[in-house]
Structure 1
């Protein structure tokens, strides 16, 4: 069990998306989530998103996984990064649970890093919130103030920047944690062979929201209302200010209507950027098979990374799972909330859930899609 040594209410009030924070001994007696050998083995798999970053003077080079061996990289100046560890390593679920004081829809992934001395990616700026937790070894981190920074080597395509004056300058040791909000420059350099972990939280951009809204309107064949006017400009080649404003008001009208945006938000926010490790059964479950397994002590588990979201004041009784809406009867709302809030259920909890036929039907669907599995 991972216990986070942090006043979460004070953190959300004073630091979340406002300013960086160093938390020494954030995880007392921190236990490594995964061993370096296990991490290297995961990076050999085609489905797993991994990369090796090699530090080269003022620059770096990236090799995308999967990897067959690591000998060619030497003993220093590189690190292995594995994205979405929580999808492939069930033991990481307890660690992620320590961060659920932030809503599930924001959660992106758990990234694990094995780094050799002098390994790092240089000074850069991210557009998401990140918690960096140190495992074995030591890494030196600096964090700068938010501001305008020149791109490295004047290259507009690189995420690297020329440098910054640190407002945090620290060597992270086992169990220490660093929180960095979007827009703050930071840099990590490995001092001794080290393991570290990054918990990322993202929010949609205006581009993503507009794109998802447009896709949703097209898919549902809605949003067909056209612009109309009561007056026309005197100059034929001119688009009047009132026409401009009234056209944009059509978009505002859609954005203020829950019927237009709720399905879009639920679908978009429940999707995952990384591939899921689906556990589809060899033979589709039937109700009788499931009940028999439960009577023999089977437990119900959600696969890593699967998002199950509900919208407050939703206009429809439904839950969004991996980008899809599942409508349900109002009489199982309590069961649905429980399924969305917990990652696993013991045999007694599972048996209780399946006593309602509608809940049983949904669980069968989730099992046969590989979203849940019995253990």
Structure 2
């Protein structure tokens, strides 16, 4: 691989786990080479001054419904994926899973084909696909269209298994109400990241699905059976089951900061809580409203809502989520950054991929978390 050689200095370096002060990040031929003390920088090294900004691997967002003014559901095409990925790159996410919300079998197939084609074409930022539905629970449908929710049939399973063979990463959100442990087992064996969500299933059922291979919970606390005194629900399963990780919409609206604090402390490893944006068409734009399959969604005061007040995705970028975690929840900055970078990256990466970024996957974050921008090659 060829590319520029450059050394970044003058600000904290985040390596996916720790923040390093007083160090410089050296890149050779466009690829990370070494972390060196600033006083050991070679005199002839080209230097880019970070001016106090944090240098970090780009965010990895595993739940992106839209951005740049478009929704994936409205037009599941390569052009749409490119537009969404470009918008989120401007917000710091250099790898995303475009997410199809519950839709028809035909739309699901079209989204799979579009994602496969985008990956083959090398569309920057497209790391795979997330199918959120349609095999969910009507009782916990949230903004999903109840008329399109249905049980997983053999042809649905076959379509997902085909997608798993042709995509680098595939996440599927499903509910026990409309799937079976055997289906989860088949998906997991094929490399699909099975995430439980939009479900009212009790704790024991969720644990049985985790045993079958489900390894994640979709937007923790939202659209799922809650943690109670006698019935822990999916929330309890996600926190107590070490093999499960959980996405979190940390905007301070979907989940109260004190609830996030309790969950952060309670989560049993090695599974981790990671950040997702659950972004919609307005991400990266000044739009105040948009439509999802004919339903008007309004943007106001940091919320996206249907006309009945139901939350419909989030008006959130991951820098804002990190800010909420650090300032309102009390999570250390390095942990919050990891929740937006290395933790979700491990969910979709091969074991050999250690998140050593190329220049195209680097971002600069303002120290007060007020701004983020990609590093220019």
TM range (shorter): under 0.3
Larger RCO, structures 1/2 (Cα 8 Å, 6+ apart):
2
TM-score (norm 1): 0.23
